[in-house]
Structure 1
């Protein structure tokens, strides 16, 4: 890790891994952003995938107080020069970095100006640190006076927090209920639906409270439709597009019940041939509408829609007839 560059825990990081303060032990300086799930919902299975080429930031800049920054640099320097077998160039580099902020361009980490501004440091999502986008935040730590705008692209803001929270939303599996349940028949409409109790809104709040900054954003995913892909071209979907929209009560599709055999399911599939000795992979993908609110932004603002899905095995048999 380059001196002065922080790392942020990526998707799936637990609070136990990051720690309540967002810091790890040793000389590492990690993101101070905290993430909290704000709804029980039905989350916990997988991350949302944007429907477009958009991705949350791979790097950004965060503020640090003069005290926090000085402690980081001193710990980093001591650890580098006192590590047995450490290369001389690493020790030299650490010494030059320390001198820049302690006895060079800056004096004693600007501790005498601790109430007048903050240091800003580059942060990279450590799950994406090898991506080219993560290398764009390459400016060494710099000082910004209170009230001034950081002279960089992608300084942390409520919108940046919202975009980072996007990547940490955990969505439920999309295994649909079907009828017939175990095995369906050729040309027999198969009903499909999702339970409204499971598919609720899922939200994550990202908050940053450091160096006099106290901002937050909540990103919310709301299910809006279910896409069915039968796993074979020899099938028809209901509706024909395969896109089942959400009902007013929050459910998708309609459970099968006795007496509905002659009806066309509002959401379902009709297989036109047998799966033989195997099965078809029914792919069920839910589209989630994603918005955010936060500091200075009380009204929901759109982020790119996302999807999450999985497949399930469906056995299709020929209808047996009896000849007399």
Structure 2
């Protein structure tokens, strides 16, 4: 159903991308269970934990590509140093993207030297042709490469475009696929929420992907969710790894939970909604560190 907007803006039916709520959204593929933002993590999230959406980040390379990585530098997650945008794609491919992953606070690094590499967005979309992917553009210079990857793989229907700063998605104003709010749209909705005038505001996005609190202030509430739903906007809450918090937020009516622990979220969704339990990892792939982690 289309909701008329007294303030104009594009009229949007709910995107199929957002269907099946409440959604299990694997943050960077489940960054506490595998090297974040890698195909290795994405495949595990989809196959082991039956993630509905993958939340990923992209940064531009020096030679006009975009790679899937969160930070503007490679230092935190790889064995390299320096800014992503100062490296060519070939240079970035040579890095060990599993080098820094540790499940136990730095005692062990089980993915070092095991061939985990950075991927381009196009490679991810081609490797996972049925996956719904939430792409956060961290640097506006990546926009052209993001659009090329989506067009080349025919993925508009399954890629949501996100950016904390809407300038980083300015090239997607007429994007036919789903989009989520930046800080500017969230602040605008907050102002209307506080003044109880959300009926006069039409958010130009399909989803609010947001934290429960901002600046130490509680933002999300059941009323916020109801008002967003009345404007045809879904609520995806990040980043939630505690099971009690997951249960509470689901009881409020959020449409998706973004988590670094998709294993925990899968259990909670099973309890809360009757959703089938995922298969989990095959017995021959459960290393001791992973077994300990999954028990935590």
Q: Which range, TM-score by smaller chain?
A: under 0.3
Kindly name which structure, 1 or 2, has the bigger radius of gyration based on alpha carbons.
Answer: 1
Scaled by the length of structure 2, what TM-score is found? 0.22
- The alignment's TM-score, normalised by the length of structure 1, stands at 0.21
